[in-house]
Amino acid sequence: MRRSLRVCILFNTLLLSSAASRVAAVKQHELLSDTLAFEDPRAFKVKSLGELLRALGVFRLCSFPVLVNNCGKLMSVARTLLGKRGFSLLLRPTVYAQFVAGENEAEISQSMQKMSLQGLRPMLAVPIEEDLGESTGEKRYDDNMDIMLECVRMSHSNAWSKDPMMQLKITALLSPELCVKLTNVIRQQPYDLNLLIRSMDGEPISFPGLDEKEAAHLRSGLLRLNKIAEASVNKVRVLVDAEYTYMNPALSLVTMAMMKKFNKDGTWIWNTYQCYLKDSRSLLLDVLSLSKNEGFCLGVKLVRGAYMDKERKLAMKEGHQDPIHQSWEDTNDSYNGCLDVMLDVISQEPERYRIIVATHNEESVRRAVKRMEELGIDRDGGSVCFGQLLGMCDHVSLTLAKEGYSVYKSVPYGSVDETLPYLVRRAQENRTVLQGIRKERDLLRKELNRRLRLSLRGGS
Ligand SMILES: Cc1cc2nc3c(=O)[nH]c(=O)nc-3n(C[C@H](O)[C@H](O)[C@H](O)COP(=O)(O)OP(=O)(O)OC[C@H]3O[C@@H](n4cnc5c(N)ncnc54)[C@H](O)[C@@H]3O)c2cc1C
Ligand SMILES: *[C@@H]1O[C@H](CO)[C@@H](O)[C@H](O)[C@H]1NC(C)=O
Ligand SMILES: *[C@@H]1O[C@H](CO)[C@@H](O)[C@H](O)[C@H]1NC(C)=O
């Protein structure tokens, strides 16, 4: 209570003068900080009984470390034993239904409408992922572009939410090998953003440090990205994902070029900053000053980061310094620090800067909410919104939405096979899965009990 009191006092001295409104405000703030303890099972009121039971079942499975730690292996064994159809029959009503929206537009649409009714906004994400050695030629990338254009269309045309957003993985359109090469090239010899923009406009640029074949692939990739950006401007905000450190600088370069070209009067292209990186804060400060100097609006997706284990293994193998913060606590400090930086610039120029606080961490969410109040940033003004993954920490998302904040759920779609790597990665997200889910499970149980009691009482 002490902290909420402090917030109230600060808020009061800033905004209020009369005693009566002061009392009202204190009450309101105590209510808000109680709500944001995320301990009210009634957040799940909007869920059907089937959904409650499914979530309980899936989270129960996620609570066995043996299952979670070996889930990649287990899934591929199950797939071999059961065959493609049997495996799909097993996964579809359970894990898949919990974390994935569906396979075709009809299925996706149904999930999205349900989400809309719950006050949540969908953010479609095609889980196409490529790492080194998995790429398969220009045709594959053109096909992926068509899938992304389809994603733009679906996000925009279905009116599932106002202000639609979608996620984009650059390595679906530009080979990871080239992204690695480009990362190394620009370390020696930084490219001017205008070079990339001219290439997006179709000029036959020859890029220093790349051979003709690589340059040709980069040009095609930039054309693909340009096409997606053109299709989405003024319709759908495109949030570019951050991936591995050995290619992120190239991904950011390309994204910043898109920002410079398309974000003159609005935040249509966004970039992602992973706070588990030791240099996340300086990367964020760099792009803030770049956006000022180059005159583009900046959208930031702030995450902790999803590739920790692989990054660390690679650093160890290659004898590099570990790019990831030493401990979870350091990552936490970094996340909250970057959050403060963004909220400060947003309070000064809300039309130029935007952030999606993409986290399941309740403490970070509460900090963001508190800071927004202190700085007088609107709950639904558009410059700050929140993001969680579909099927994870609904107690956080639903509570925030109920309080009037904009909340997006990242919604992957595709067949069981296409979404499998995504599902495996979800299960392996350590803290979130094993701790956050424990709390969500307790709340789900409470809600189930509450309904049982209600129906017993109603029936007697
Ligand atoms: C809308 C949305 C979009 C996303 N987009 C991306 C993206 O583009 N790129 C991406 O990489 N991820 C992305 N993510 C995933 C995100 O990185 C993970 O969901 C997130 O890391 C889980 O952490 P959390 O903030 O929910 O909090 P917590 O559960 O509090 O923290 C867990 C995280 O802390 C970090 N961590 C854990 N242990 C340690 C340790 N020992 N040392 C240092 N750090 C540690 C890891 O990042 C871990 O994932 C996205 C998530 C959402 C919701
Ligand atoms: C997370 O970081 C914030 C800000 O640095 C800090 O105040 C808080 O105590 C940290 N939380 C935990 C659980 O360590
Ligand atoms: C969690 O972290 C530990 C130690 O870092 C690791 O061995 C394990 O595979 C991770 N995943 C889960 C789900 O426990």
Asked if 173 and 26 sit in the same domain, the reply is: no
For residue 42, tell me if it sits in a domain. Answer: yes
Task: Please check whether residue 376 lies inside any domain of the structure.
Answer: yes
The larger pLDDT score, comparing residue 28 to residue 448, is at: 448
At residue 28, the pLDDT reads 62
Pocket of ligand 2 (CB under 6 A): 329, 332-333, 336, 363
Are 27 and 111 part of one and the same domain? no
Q: Do 323 and 351 belong to one domain?
A: yes
Cα separation, 19 vs 374, in Å, equals 20
Look at residue 257 in the predicted model and tell me its pLDDT: 98
Ligand nearest to the CA of 61: 3
Most confidently predicted of 56-65, 125-134, 243-252: 243-252
Residues 50 and 6 in one domain: no
Ligand 1 center–CA 303 separation, angstroms = 6
Domain hosting residue 1, numbered range: 1-33
The answer to whether residues 14 and 144 belong to one domain is no
**The pLDDT of residue 166:** 97
Measured from the CB, is residue 276 less than 6 Å from ligand 1? yes
Mean pLDDT of 430-442: 67
- DSSP codes joined into one string, 349-387: -TTTEEEEEE---HHHHHHHHHHHHHHT--TTSSSEEEE
Q: pTM for the full model?
A: 0.87
Instruction: Count up the domains in the chain and report the number.
Output: 2
Measured N-to-C along each axis, helices 2-15 and 362-375 cross at an angle, to the nearest 10 degrees, of: 20
Question: Same domain, yes or no, for 109 and 3?
Answer: no
User: What CATH number should be reported for the domain holding residue 378?
Assistant: 3.20.20.220
Q: Is residue 91 part of a domain?
A: no
Q: Give a yes or no: residue 418 inside a domain.
A: yes
Residues for the chain: how many in total? 460
Any domain includes 81: no
pLDDT in tens, 355-402: 999 999 999 999 999 999 999 999 989 999 999 999 888 889 999 999
Q: Residue 96 domain-assigned?
A: no
**Same domain as 452, residue 318:** yes
Please say if the pLDDT value at position 36 is more than 90: no
**Model pLDDT, residue 386:** 98
pLDDT, one tens digit per residue, over 304-352 is 998 898 899 999 999 999 999 999 999 999 999 999 999 999 999 999 9
Three-class SS state of 391: coil
- Ligand 3 center–CA 65 separation, angstroms: 8
Pick the residue with more confidence: 92 or 365?
Answer: 365
